[in-house]
Amino acid sequence: MFLYGMTDYLPKDMVMPEKIFPREIACRKSLLKFFAAPMIALYVQDYFKPETKAKVTSILENIRKEIVKTFTGVPWMDDNLRKALIRKAQLLEMDPAHPDWILDQVTLDKVYEKAEVFPGELLKSVIGIRKEVIRQRFQLEPYSPTISWEYMPFNRYAYSNAQLLSINITISFLQPPIYSHLFPKSFQYGGLGCLFGHEFMHAFDIVRRLVDRNFLP
């Protein structure tokens, strides 16, 4: 596993690759490491319909309401526990497909305003970008909407964030066989319900059931 991470630096005769990828693939991979947000913004603008996000959000809200309804009929819950669970379920934030801020040019510029790029000077540009990556990872700044997504939408992930009490389903999942605007409602609710239900229950797992939205007992 350690050597795998070094394959970009070792001589080709030592690595013995089965296939050498075209340079454009390597360049795209490098761009996604830091400039993923603007690349996703271009994809969303050209290929992703705005009404899809609204429709998926509506479906997830309906699923949440139905799950919350089941809490009222569970016999082994006392009133205090039931109220706490319903409150927590209602506070869950949902932001499917992609973070809205990537389509806001002002916010997007602010995210990258400290990145130093020097046209025609590869080494200086790499160092400048990596310095900014490290700075962002260790920043102690107030909460920003740009950190509410742990994984960029190009990754095929559905996940819950314990600290922010949020659920995210990336844009990569919003295609067949999980979702399509051409699917009947039963398929749409079934596909999204499987993902959402799994992530929803993480808010009540063995650790997170003991804490509130602020991660306090």
Domain that includes residue 125, residue range = 22-210
Per-residue pLDDT of 11-56, as tens digits, reads 555 555 566 667 787 777 777 778 888 888 888 888 888 889 999 9
- Sorting pLDDT into bands at 50, 70 and 90, what band is 83? confident
What pLDDT is stored for residue 14 in this prediction?
55
- Read off the pLDDT of residues 135-156 as tens digits, 9 standing for 90 and up: 877 776 544 554 456 666 677 7
- Whether residue 211 is predicted with pLDDT greater than 90 in this model: the reply is no
AA letter at 165 = L
Q: Which two tokens stand for residue 45?
A: 């603008």
| Residue 43 falls inside a structural domain | yes
Residue 86: inside a domain, yes or no?
yes
State pTM to two decimals. 0.73
CATH number of residue 131's parent domain: 3.40.390.10
Q: Is position 17 within any domain?
A: no
The total domain count for the chain is 1
Residue 89, C-beta contacts closer than 8 angstroms, at least 6 positions apart: 64, 67, 68, 71, 200, 203
> In the beta sheet, which residues pair with residue 167?
94, 160
